[in-house]
Structure 1
């Protein structure tokens, strides 16, 4: 089965066609039986190929009509739909069970620790080290936001709005929104810090990692019984709606960035190299700078990283897949990624494989967070203030 519309044999001479990606090495040359002269190939119907301008862009062409009942009414789609539906249902159950500060006090009394979904307001804007002023984290987030926003706008200006057909641009847009929202929350945090709402009163205290509370230094000398007293413990304010959205988007980006970059550099790039395709600035940029900015922010911020929020990562990908299904059910278009094509008998295997890839991609970032906690708590034992 041909997924990309390429032929294996080497074709020459080179020719470009307005309905085919100009990065194709050549188009078939048809030989007339009468005079043995080469003539130009006929123009294919617009529904069989995606029009593109003469730029250094590469796109697969469609080989199967998708806007037909026979394409969808088969066992392959049923199996793939069940896989996507199961991931949505299971992810939703996990989120409902663990997300948010619900029953936080009860969970703390019964289990001796906070629920996995709890988040405090100052964790979204304060750096992981007490010696770093929150303004530095604010400055980095503002710079990252404007750089990503400018690159996204330029990419749209160069390649058009069709770039949002790809999962990569979905993720790039999501991480841009992450830094935009993070900049606003950091501004609010710096205002609190300046007005002593989240400044010296917080940073001069000792952090009780087990309970997620701050204990004032003046109380530390009163003995263990007094430290257990609720009246002598400064309880931090639980995060609001937008802070939780920020935390959720952070963990969604962590998995999505790892997935897009790993799939691109480990799977797609080797395939493009076989086709003698030259990577341009935009393609390299979209699959590198997002990871760089996210890793730097991770090394500076004080956000938590519980495992259960991998459910949001699954939901994000499931929404993209459903979007592609709706588009292809309405219009006969090429698939942006070959493993999404439902005409292959191996489609269920591809879908399940990509689904399982979410676990190691998210796990990579879990390991990064554990490395951060281990190294910074060892190098800066008196300044490090993140909750593991």
Structure 2
């Protein structure tokens, strides 16, 4: 049976359409725009480009359209955690979540991908897959190149050695020459790192932002609505469903707790786009004859469906906001509780 369009269905189409266009507009307006006045908005943009005046030792952070510090994609906010440790954590998360998804497919078949749970779970796996590749590349860079902080220390040692062995006049010339050489080397190394991580860094962070809100929404709907009130063979609470709706948030929160990833508020737009794509997918398959609705509150034949769609659109804000507050709490309280171990973020 095809999709029958009623007046309240048009309202649903309008809600999803406005949300989709609005999210796309926010991304178009905000992504690629960097307001790096005195490093105030260092991570406002994902696309990596190199400015002519940025990236020197002791100088200002690179500014310009689309700057992001790619080193923060694969380093930890904890001083004791090596980049290799973050790589192992992300790869282990990828493998464990993949096992549960395969288990889910074997039990219910490929048709499970009609559910938002599997969409979100798959997105989290994609995030950890990309994050593993970025971390692996970062470990290669870590062992093959000097990081900017190491270059700064090397510069200080070289200058100290010069001060001890040459006269004051020679010092002025030698110091400037050394600084210029080290600054150029640091700029080249940092630029190489950023260029390698640029596309994958963009994809990684966009996926991360979409995962954050989608995981909160998925788990809240499952534990607060579906388990208490709905009776569905696939959605009923069992060990597999329980683990999937715990591990998706647990691994993502663990990665957030140990990583240096930025989390600006406006990237709620990625989460909204992800949900809109899922709803549009449901409309398409129902227009092609698929009869079952995975979630009753999305069924377009219900007279109250427009209200459900509106409430689900609105609930995206507190879901993303909850994760945003968790990240904010990490930046606020961890430096106070662990001042020696935690690296305070910008």
Q: Same fold (TM over 0.5)?
A: yes
Residue among 112, 128, 131 paired with 1:179: 128
Q: C-alpha displacement at 1:202, in angstroms?
A: 3.1
Consecutive unaligned residues in structure 1, runs of 5 or more: 1-64, 207-214, 222-229
Shift of 1:272: 4.0
C-alpha offsets along residues 103-157 of structure 1, whole Å, 9 cap, x if unaligned?
x4xx334996436224221111101122211111111111111111111112111
Q: 8 Å contact 2:77–2:345 — kept in the other structure?
A: no
Could you tell me which residue of structure 2 aligns to residue 189 of structure 1? Answer: 138
- RCO higher in structure (CA 8 A, sep ≥6): 2
The within-5 A match list for 1:94-243 is: 94-100=26-32, 102=33, 104=34, 107-109=35-37, 113-114=41-42, 116-117=44-45, 118-198=67-147, 201-202=148-149, 236-237=190-191, 238=194, 239-243=197-201
Change beyond 3 A, Cα 1:372–1:111: closer
**Cα distance change on mapping 1:109 and 1:374 into 2, 3 Å:** closer
1:248, distance to aligned residue in structure 2 (A): 0.9
Larger C-alpha radius of gyration, 1 or 2? 1
Residue 351 of structure 1 is matched in structure 2 by: 309
Secondary structure in 2 aligned to 1:240? helix
Q: Do 1:98 and 1:115's aligned partners in 2 also have CA atoms closer than 8 Å? A: no
Q: Deviations over 1:178-206 (max 9, x none)?
A: 111111111111111112343xx436869
2:209/2:268 contact within 8 Å kept: yes
Q: State whether residues 119 and 244 of structure 1, in contact with CA within 8 Å, keep that contact through their aligned partners in structure 2.
A: no
Q: Give the conservation status (yes or no) of the 8 Å contact 1:130–1:203.
A: no
Choose which of 217, 223, 229 in structure 2 pairs with 1:265. Answer: 223
Q: 1:115 to 1:183 in 2, by over 3 A?
A: closer
- Tell me the residue number matched to 1:82: 14
* Distance (Å, rounded) in 1 between the aligned partners of 2:43 and 2:74: 21
Alignment-derived partner of residue 291 in structure 1: 249
* SS of aligned partner of 2:36: helix
The 8 Å contact of residues 302 and 386 in structure 1, kept in 2 or not, is answered as no
Any gaps of 5 or more consecutive residues in structure 2? 46-66, 161-178
Structure 1 partner of 2:203: 245
Q: Displacement of 1:269 after TM fit?
A: 0.8
Distance (whole Å) between structure 2 residues aligned to residue 83 and residue 178 of structure 1:
28
- Give distance in 2, aligned partners of 1:180 and 1:189: 14
2:23 corresponds to: 91
The 1:273/1:88 distance shift into structure 2, 3 A limit, reads closer
Report matched runs for 1:4-23 at 5 Å: none
CA distance in 2, matches of 1:300, 1:260: 23
Of 311-320 and 143-152, the range deviating more from structure 2 = 143-152
1:98 is displaced (CA, Å) by 1.2
Distance 1:306 1:216 in 2: 34
**Which TM-score applies when normalising by structure 2?**
0.78
TM-score by length of 1: 0.70
Q: How many residues align?
A: 297
